[in-house]
Amino acid sequence: MPQFSPDVCIIESTYGVQIHQPRMVRERRFTDTVAQTVSHGGRVLIPAFALGRAQELLLILDEYWESHPELQHIPIYYASPLAKRCMAVYQTYINAMNDRIKSQYEVSNPFDFKHISPLKSLDLLEDVGPSVVMASPGGLQNKKNACIIPGYAMEGTLTKTIMNEPKEVTLMNGLVVPLNMRVHYISFSAHADFSQTSTFLNELRPPNIILVHGEANEMGRLKAKLQTQFSDQNVKVLSPKNCQTVEMFFKGEKVAKAVGKLAENTPKEGDPVSGMLVKKGFTYQLMTADDLHVYTQLSRGNVMQRQSVPYKGAFTVLRHRLQQMYEGVEPVLKAEFPSLKVHDKVTVIHEGTDYVLLQWISDPVGDMIADSMIAMILKLDAQSMRTRLESDEMKIVHSLLVSLFGDVILEEKQQILTLTVDGVTATVDHANKGIECKDESLKERIKLALRRIQTALYPLDS
């Protein structure tokens, strides 16, 4: 805690008004769930993407396996090349760890796991019995199996959907599949819960609180709760949207002398004045950034950022998506390559056939816009690659069904496949994922075949 109360506190709101269980309770629930599942012959999937949390959970599992010899024949895998590379970083900077890890390192390297193996490819997974996998591979369609969600799940994601344990879920490819595994939510997130946030703010007592880093609904609930908590203390709670300007007013007057270009025109009462406030001793001067070197020994500098982002789609598609996300998207006239200026901050240049170039002067707003654009372009490029794959998908599905059932007729434009097995006809509507067949046994065989084909084509969709 600082020695004085600040004027403004900017604080995250990821978990809103949710309350975490005590740490020891969560660890016990986690290890008990894993042990019970594998002891009954099931498999455990742990989708852990956050670096740090992945290593944390692997440490817990490795220690638990070490103290339970009866489980040591059951393999534990982590299928993340990034997490594996990060292990080297953790091992390099052991001196930056807490005392527990340092003392453990003196005996043995805590990140050289004894009971856990990295999984370079899903093809190397020996899926013949109970196991623990930290990754996001295909669905676990068996009631003996379990998925443990160890962190925050965003609205609209498959993770958030399965937390409610519906009977069926829809995958990214539109395929509807039954959910036949148990789902446990045991949060090991580093983000604060409401108890921690409210206690911190109650001790800090800032007159202005700005909520950031949160999903809109959770942020709204937290704002309402904090307003109730500080209702008698005249505390202002704000939850601005991205790029939204926040204005705050503070008591106390300071007099600053405008110099240089700012002094050329006298502003009217109430007009905003934008410049840099420079304090020297007990005097304040207000000036433009261009005048900084004239009135002080300081100088101004800019950092030009340039980043190439993979993109093989059409530039018109990219422009349309940018216009959906940002208000100010304008073409750059007389440019050597097709170019757009976004929010008057970031320039996108279609310089190559398989990439675009982002260029901007680094500042907080420009950096944020560039970050969101890079994420959007990468997602758009992935969707473009998927579309190209799906254009060949019908032929692949047709040839695989021929190898399984023999007589299969493909109507490519309508995306209809007609199968005849032992005089029984079945129709597969590939576009709508529907099957028409009077013979229920054959229908189930086709449904199973299509599900396996889909898993082979898109192994990470679920």
Give the DSSP H or E segment for 32: helix 23-39
Reduced to 3 states, what is the DSSP secondary structure of residue 441? helix
Strand 116-118 relative to strand 76-78: parallel, antiparallel, unpaired? parallel
Q: Are 171 and 164 in contact (CB under 8 A)?
A: no
Q: Which residues of 333-361 are buried (b: 16+ CB within 10 A; e: fewer)?
A: eeeeebbbbbbebbbbbbeeeebbbbebe
Give the DSSP H or E segment for 382: helix 364-405
Q: What does the alpha-carbon distance between residue 319 and residue 310 come to, in Å, rounded to a whole number? A: 15
Catalytic residue among 191, 343, 350, 398: 191
Q: Is residue 191 flagged as an active site residue?
A: yes
Output the six-digit token pair for 334.
Answer: 């007389």
Q: What does the alpha-carbon distance between residue 55 and residue 46 come to, in Å, rounded to a whole number? A: 12
Only one residue has tokens 């900077």, namely 93
Output the six-digit token pair for 273.
Answer: 């004045």
Only one residue has tokens 């999903």, namely 215
CA 336 to chain centre: 35
Q: What is the largest CA-CA distance in the chain?
A: 97
**Nearest partner of 188 among 53, 44, 17, judged by Cα:** 53
Q: Are 370 and 307 in contact (CB under 8 A)?
A: yes
Q: What does the alpha-carbon distance between residue 23 and residue 315 come to, in Å, rounded to a whole number? A: 49
Q: Are 34 and 61 in contact (CB under 8 A)?
A: yes
DSSP character at residue 151: S
Q: What does the alpha-carbon distance between residue 204 and residue 212 come to, in Å, rounded to a whole number? A: 17
**What does 85-134 look like in DSSP terms, one character per residue?**
HHHHHHHHTGGGS-HHHHHHHHHS-TTS-SSEEE-S-GGG---SS-EEEE
- What are residue 257's DSSP bridge partners? 285
First to last CA, the chain: 44
Tell me which residues are annotated as active site.
191
